[in-house]
Structure 1
Amino acid sequence: MPDQPTEPQAQPTTEPSVDELWSRGPVWTQGGSPVARYVARPLREFLHVESAGSVLLLFATLAALAWVNLPFGGWAEAYDAFWHTPIGLDVGGWRIEETLQHWVNDGLMTLFFFVVGLEIKYELVHGDLRDPRTAALPIVAAFGGMVVPALLYVTIAGGPETGQGWGIPMATDIAFAVGVLGVLGRRVPSAARLFLLTLAIVDDIGAIVVIAVFYTADLSLGWLALALGLLAVMALLKALRVWSVQIYVVLGVVLWFALLSSGVHATLAGVAVGLLTPATALLKAPVATAFAAEALQDKELDAEELSRLRFLVTESVPVAERLQSMLHPVSAYVVLPIFALANAGVVLTGGVLGDAVTSSVALGIGLGLVVGKPLGIVLACFLAVRFGLARLPEHTSWAQVVGVGAIAGVGFTVSLFIAGLSFPGDETLTANAKVGILLASMVAAVVGVVLLLVAGRDRVSPAAEPTPAPSRH
């Protein structure tokens, strides 16, 4: 009897795991369409690179410089005309009008400072700033890295017209600094990365205090009292465990306007609200996990049960962490590049570059960032270790501390921000400050990379070092 043809057996289909679905990303990035293959997936992979934010920031800076320095006539004037376009808002009899650049600096940057406030709050509650002994070295280092650059600036450019810029070389740009370390990869110990990240966060705290105390003019006590009252209301709502995004958005907008009218820089509203955001979860993780495990035993959950499960999972993550995860990409990929595009446009032709480089403002900023930052950080670390207040990070040499200190001299975003506050109405001094910031940040990055590459030759084998935890930046 002839053999009967056997039908091909169907291959068992396997459902993708949760991890596979998560790694694939949104539906629009999947499939074989040209948009998914050549735009969506490459873009998604780029945005998951640690240094992606700094790359976009650098691109926006170069775009601004190219915009005002093209060899064709009228581009610099077009740049100024565009960013000085007046934009007003009318509500009843109330009106506020600012230039587009001011809306970016006073409004859009509030979101950046809100994310900074969230990061500071997270570090204070869950991170390295929670443990005084672990936080001692970066805190001391940040203090030295702020004081020495300011003193160098005052020594060089401490005149009556230029002395107000002493706060410019105090800041460290987190996005650029972490991006530079990301380029170096495993050549830098994970403990050294964490040291720089914590140092930069403390630097941000110092910059916020400096802006609030020393760059506030024409203080209006009535508006300031309203702002403080709104902060008290937010603190009370937080104590009562009331967390409605809509309520806090409305209060935050009113707080922003009150600070803008008070004379205190309006972006501090973002920092204040960020620090008031709860950093502990409403539900403890074991409780949420137990509820979720019980609910998942039912294979057919209805919409109400799925909604309840989603609530449990969501509330087991602190609000500050959820907001930071959601808003950090917006801050890094949208806000900061727009800020750079609006503020980094400096004319570098016709002798302007030579005049700026030789000005006391640019020299003070340059030496403050390139020399003062690493000098202050290393000196502060040496004294802290020498007197037993702290110890060096694991697998980190003094040569690597010097390299990290040099990279901390990349003071781009906040330095540009303070430069705009230091010389209001004086375009020449502001331009000189921007040139000093741009050149000094580039030199600091190159010097830091070279020092870390040289120091990395003698460091321990990467295999002997634990894998670094995923960066929150």
Structure 2
Amino acid sequence: MSLPVVIDTSPDPERPDPNRREIPIASFVRRMGPTRTGALLLLLATALAIVWANVAHDSYETFWDTHLVLGLGDLTLDFTLHALVNDALMALFFFTLGLEVRRELTIGELTSWSRAVVPVVAGLCGLVVPALLYVLVARGSGWESAWGVVISTDTAFLVGALALIGPRAGGRLRVFLLALAVVDDIGALTIIALFYTEQFDPVPLLVAAAGMVGIWFTRHLPSGRAPIYTTLAIIVWLAFLASGVHPSLAGIAVALLVPVYRPSRQDVEHALALARTFRQSPTTEYARAAANSLRESISINERLQSAYAPYVSFVILPLFALANAGVQVSMEGLAAAAVSPVTWGVVVGLVVGKLIGVLGSTALVRALGIGELGPGLTRGRLAGGAALCGVGFTLSLFIVDLAIDDEAVANQARMGILLASAIAFGLATLIFRLTEHAHPAEEVGHVLQRPVTARDHVYGPMDAPMTLVEYGDFQCGFCLKTSGAIQEVVRELGGELRYVWRHAPLLRYHPNAIAAAEASEAAARQGKFFEFERSLFADQLHQQPRDMLRRAEELGLDVDRFEADLVSPGVAGRVRDDMLDAEAMEITAVPTIFINGRRHTGPHDARSLIEALRRARDTDDVSTARPEADAARS
């Protein structure tokens, strides 16, 4: 049997239905993707702000200085439109940042120290080194205190730019940079609170603290939580405003209290039961109950991220750019910026500081052997990602308003931010192009990038002369057939073979594949991975949550521990690691087999696999040390 080619017969979301009418904007967003579209809108808003500020500067200033009064009776709030964007709308931006931070700290990349140490160190050095370089360049200007302008990477631009210019199969680089960006955001927000707060009044913060305590306990209410969350969040925001702490920081304070968790089996089963009831009796009451149950099975953190993300990307951030990026470009202004230590401090801090801080610290941590860096994170990709971290926009412009009260100097700082972001983008593009072309094309996908270690699921002795690594999917029919052939191979070769399973679930075709993979990992924590694997292949049609628990009970596992492990971040992270490895090697069909570190392209029947394994052993075509050497070189 030759390597299978999986044919998708389901509707392709990338291929529009010819009978479906779609408005042009929706079609554009679908083709570009929300990440790229958001970055493009941010760029267009920046360009529009610059043009507006230079063609009609008076109208630009007048528009954003327009006052808006909100109030009831004697209680009024008087905002300019500029302040409304920076103080109120940006609170929603910080709220979404806080939700992401909370998720990563609870169930994401930053839950495991070994996985988090490298991006944490890189993120911290990416804060410190740019600030030091800025102070060094800007010393004597009187604006050394504005070092906070260069500390932050713009996450929206970072992700959008990576989608535009980043390497193919760059999933692991994206995960690394997002984890780094979370650390960057935490540091930047802390610095804003500690160093750029004026006229501090601690009394209103007592009200804010009471509101946040209320938010914490609201999670225990059986229903009606949304109005209470909203009311308390507004009270916290008003208290921050009255205290002198920038009110947008109320967004992250509230977000860190919003609960996040992975869906529990009971919630999923309850939602499925209500959906079946609705199918049998399609009434409005059952429809509402099923919809509510489905919604409640997902944590409010993830529901809010999903709800607010489009507004933040497509409305709030472009509005912020329009209100803050209006740099006046004149010969006098350019001449002043060209010799301004503030401008060059910003440029050097963002471009050079981020590159040295992120790449240097990553190289140091890597050399010391601290933490984990997965395959695919080559020096070239890390260098390109580090250069891209120099795109400092949203928070950099935000801090300019807080740190510099001289409009001429603030204008010079904004010029520095725009110039630094353009240079960082161009430098990252150049690095990615050069390093990706320099990487041997024949190695991608043909050599096992991550060597076999004790962390893998290994059947057979670790020092066996023959190794077969399979990337597979428990719901794949081809993997089922191959599993029978591999059992024959194991029986014939015995102690001469080590067989390794790694996960490569094809989500577009097998919706339960990740759940099955995570269940097998939960079983592995009790030493029953291969037993659970065989039970999954024995009955591919029954892989619902209750089926996983039934299998665990039949295999004699501690069901309570198994159920707890099913929703643990460690189990999810373990499956995601294998998936990122598969993506890095451009594995798009399963099963994909590597024999002694080289991709096997022949038939998958037992006799062919045995011959290929013996040929690899006898000729020493690719020794088991070869993948380790390749991984070390990358």
Map Cα deviations across residues 389-412 of structure 1 (whole Å, 9 max, x no partner). Answer: 223332122222111100001011
Secondary structure of the corresponding residue to residue 466 of structure 1: helix
Residue 409 of structure 2 is aligned to residue 429 of structure 1: yes
CA contact (8 A) 1:188 1:452 kept: no
What corresponds to 1:471 in structure 2? none
- Of residues 119, 124, 128, the one that matches 1:147 is 128
Change (3 A) 1:38 1:189: closer
Paired position in structure 2 for 1:373: 354
1:97 counterpart residue number: 78
**2:299 corresponds to which letter in structure 1?**
P
Question: Shift of residue 237 of structure 1?
Answer: 2.5
Which of 41, 51, 59 is residue 56 of structure 1 equivalent to? 41
CA distance in 1, matches of 2:261, 2:422: 39
Aligned to 1:345: 326
Shift of 1:44: 4.1
Instruction: Please name the residue that 1:299 is paired with.
Output: 280
How far off is 1:149 after superposition?
Answer: 0.3
Question: Does residue 113 of structure 2 align to residue 132 of structure 1?
Answer: yes
Aligned-pair CA distance for 1:241 = 6.6
Quick one: which amino acid aligns to residue 452 of structure 1? Answer: F
C-alpha spacing 1:241/1:299, structure 2 compared with 1 (3 Å): closer
What code does the residue aligned with 1:443 have?
A: I
- 8 Å CA contact 1:50–1:182 kept in 2: the answer is yes
Partner of 1:417 in structure 2?
A: 398
How far apart, CA to CA, are the structure 1 residues paired with 2:298 and 2:444?
Answer: 33
Distance 1:361 1:44 in 2: 38
- Kindly indicate whether the alpha-carbon contact (under 8 Å) linking 2:260 and 2:301 is maintained by their aligned counterparts in 1: yes
- The 2-side partners of 1:294 and 1:260 are apart by 44
Cα separation, 1, equivalents of 2:30 and 2:202: 49
Matches within 5 A, 1:228-307: 228-238=209-219, 244-280=225-261, 284-285=264-265, 287-289=267-269, 291-293=271-273, 295-296=275-276, 298-307=279-288
Q: Paired residue for 2:486? A: none
| Pair 223,291 (structure 1): closer, same or farther in 2 beyond 3 Å | closer
Unaligned segments of structure 2, at least 5 residues:
1-9, 447-580, 585-634
CA contact (8 A) 2:219 2:225 kept: no
Check if 1:164 corresponds to 2:145: yes
Check the 8 A contact 1:181/1:188 in 2, yes or no.
no
Query: SS at 1:276's partner residue?
Result: coil
Q: Which residue of the partner structure matches residue 467 of structure 1? A: 583
State the distance in 2 between where 1:112 and 1:270 align: 8
Distance 1:24 1:289, change over 3 A: farther
Residues 1:354 and 1:251: Cα distance change in structure 2 (over 3 Å)? same
Q: Distance in 2 between matches of 1:24 and 1:371?
A: 42
- Counterpart of 1:136 in structure 2: which amino acid? V
Q: Deviations over 1:32-63 (max 9, x none)?
A: 7xxx4562542442563431110000000001
Taking the aligned partners of 1:332 and 1:241, their CA distance within structure 2 comes to: 32
Cα distance in 2 for partners of 1:462, 1:171 equals 34
Alpha-carbon offset, residue 320 of structure 1: 0.5
1:318 matched to which residue of 2? Answer: 299
Aligned counterpart for 1:189 among listed residues 170, 193, 211: 170
Tell me: CA distance 1:230–1:287, structure 2 relative to 1, closer, same or farther (3 Å).
Answer: closer
Asked if the contact 2:110–2:116 (Cα under 8 Å) also holds between the matched residues in 1, the reply is: yes
> Number of residue pairs matched?
439
> What does the per-residue CA deviation read over 1:343-396, in whole Å, with 9 as the maximum and x for residues that have no partner?
000111232122123211111110001100010112211222222222333212
| Match in the other structure for 1:14 | none
Report deviation, 1:242. 6.5
Runs of 5+ unmatched residues, structure 1: 1-18, 469-473
Q: What amino acid is the match of 1:340? A: A
Letter of the aligned partner of 1:260 in structure 2?
L
Matches within 5 A, 1:37-76: 37=22, 39-46=24-31, 48-70=33-55, 75-76=56-57
For 1:39, give the aligned amino acid: P
- Distance in 2 (CA, whole Å) between partners of 1:325 and 1:166 is 34
RMSD: 2.5
The higher relative CO (CA closer than 8 Å, separation ≥ 6) is in 1
CA distance in 1, matches of 2:344, 2:222: 51
Deviations 1:91-150 (A, max 9, x none): 211222121101100011011001101111111111101111111110000011110000
Identity of aligned residues (%): 36
| Whole-angstrom CA distance in 2 between matches of 1:430 and 1:335 | 22
How far 1:202 sits from its partner (Å)?
1.1
Q: Matched residues in 2 for 1:141 and 1:401: separation? A: 11
